[in-house]
Amino acid sequence: MYQTVAYENLAGNYILIDVRSPGEHNYATIPGAVSLPIFDDKERIRIGHVYVNESIEKAKVIGISAVAQRLPYIYERILDLNKEYDKLVFFCAKGGMRSASLVALMVELGIKAIKLKEGYKGYRAFINEQLPELNKKLKYIVIHGKTGTGKTQILEKLKNAGYDVLDLEKAANHRGSLLGSVGLGKENSQKQFESLIYESLKKAKSSWIFVEGESKRIGNSIIPQYIFESMVQGTHLLVEAPLALRASILIEEYTQNPNFQDEIISAIESMTKYIGEKQGKKYSDLVRLGDFQGAAMELMVKYYDPMYSKEFNNYHFDQVFQLESVNSGSDIIEKWFENWHAKTMRKSFEAEAKTQEVLYEMA
C-alpha cells in the first residue's frame, strides 16, 4: 500500500515528479517538478483512444508494453532522486493509473514514493482557491514607464536587494508588446502563468509587492481580474528617462540571441496593420542595416510612446522619478520606499490610536 498527500500538506525535503507526457508537462506543470514521463505524447493519445473506443484491458496491455521499454531508465532516475530527497511525490493528470501504478511499484522496490492526491488537477484546484486569498493580503506598488525605461531591470535589482517583487512578464515569458516575444521562445500557458504568480507571491516577506504596470493581457496570458484590480488600486510610480538611454536599454535587451534580427523583423511585419506598411518597411530596413539605435528611437517616438501616454492618463502617480541609469532607478525607488513606508506606518498607527481613543471616550 502507498501513501497519498494533498499538495497543501507537502513539507520537508521532497521533490515532485511529473509522470505525464512531455506535451502535458511542457504546457503546464507544478513549478519545480521533474519531468519523468512513462508515455510519450503519441503513446498517451493512442492509449487514451483505445481506452475510450475499444477496451480498458487492451489499453492496459499497450500501456504496460510502452512502460516496460523505458522502465530501466525511469528506475535509474528515481534511484538518483531517492538519494537526494526524503520523499518522492509522483503525480499525473488526476492522480490516476499512471502515478498510482508507478508509485505502487516503487514502494515495493523500497523507494520512498508518495502519490499526489488528485494529481495536477488537485494542484490546480488549490491554486484557483488560494491565489485570490493570497492576493487579498497584499498591496502593490506599481512601476510605470514608457518602453525602454528599464522597469524589468529595476524590478530585478529591487528583488536582489531583498524587496518582494512580482515579475508578470517573466511569469508569462513575454514582454507584453508586439515585440515582446523576441528572444524569449515559447510563451507560458495561462495555467503556468498563474502557477508562477502564486510561487512568487507565496514567498513574500511583507505585504508590499513591487510590480510593473501592465495592461490586463501580456502576450497570450491574462492577469487574473482580482490581481489586476488590486494593481489598479495600488500605489503608482512613474519612471522617466532620456530617449537615448531608453534606446540603449532596448538594444541591450533585444539583441542577446543569435537570431534577434530575424525575430525583430518578423515582429515588425506583424505590426504593419497598426503602423502601416511604409513605416514597417522603414523600421525593418533599419534593423537589416544594423541601425538598431535609429529603429528603437523611431518605434518609441512614433508607436510606443503615444500608447503609453494614453495609458498614463488613467493613473495618479504618487511619485515621478527621472532616471539617469537603471542602477540609479532602483536606488532612488528603494530610498523613496523606505521613507514612504515609514510615513505610511506612522499614519496608520496614529489613526489606530485615534480610533482607540474615541472608543475609550464612548465607553
Query: Residues 60-86: what's their mean pLDDT?
Result: 90
Is the domain of 154 the same as that of 302?
Answer: yes
Whole-angstrom distance, CA of residue 289 vs CA of residue 61: 60
CATH no. for residue 36? 3.40.250.10
Q: Which residues face 165 on adjacent strands?
A: 210
Per the model's pLDDT, the better-predicted residue between 269 and 99 turns out to be 99
Please name the helix (run of DSSP H) or strand (run of DSSP E) that holds residue 57, with its range, or none.
helix 56-84
- Which of 177, 179, 154 is closest to 165 using CA atoms? 154
Summarize pLDDT for 333-356 with one digit per residue, the tens. 999 999 888 887 766 555 555 555
Query: Residues 4-12: what's their mean pLDDT?
Result: 95
Task: Please say if the pLDDT value at position 319 is more than 70.
Answer: yes
Domain hosting 8: range is 3-126
Q: Rg of the Cα trace of the chain? A: 25
Whole-angstrom distance, CA of residue 139 vs CA of residue 137: 7
Q: What is the mean pLDDT of the chain?
A: 89
Q: Are 155 and 143 in contact (CB under 8 A)?
A: yes
Task: Please say if the pLDDT value at position 55 is more than 70.
Answer: yes
The total of structural domains in the chain comes to 2
- Residue 131 maps to a domain: no
Is the domain of 241 the same as that of 310?
Answer: yes
Is the domain of 72 the same as that of 143?
Answer: no
Lowest mean pLDDT among 60-69, 233-242, 333-342: 60-69
Outline where DSSP puts E strands in the chain: 3-5, 14-18, 34-35, 87-91, 113-116, 139-145, 165-166, 208-212, 217-218, 221-222, 235-240, 319-322
Summarize pLDDT for 249-291 with one digit per residue, the tens. 888 888 877 888 888 888 888 878 777 888 888 888 888 888 8
Domain ends where: 126, 159, 189?
A: 126
Question: Could you identify the residue written with the cell 499538495?
Answer: 7
CATH no. for residue 249? 3.40.50
Is the domain of 74 the same as that of 113?
Answer: yes
Per the model's pLDDT, the better-predicted residue between 81 and 324 turns out to be 81
Question: Residue 281 is placed in which grid cell?
Answer: 518597411
The whole-model pTM stands at 0.88
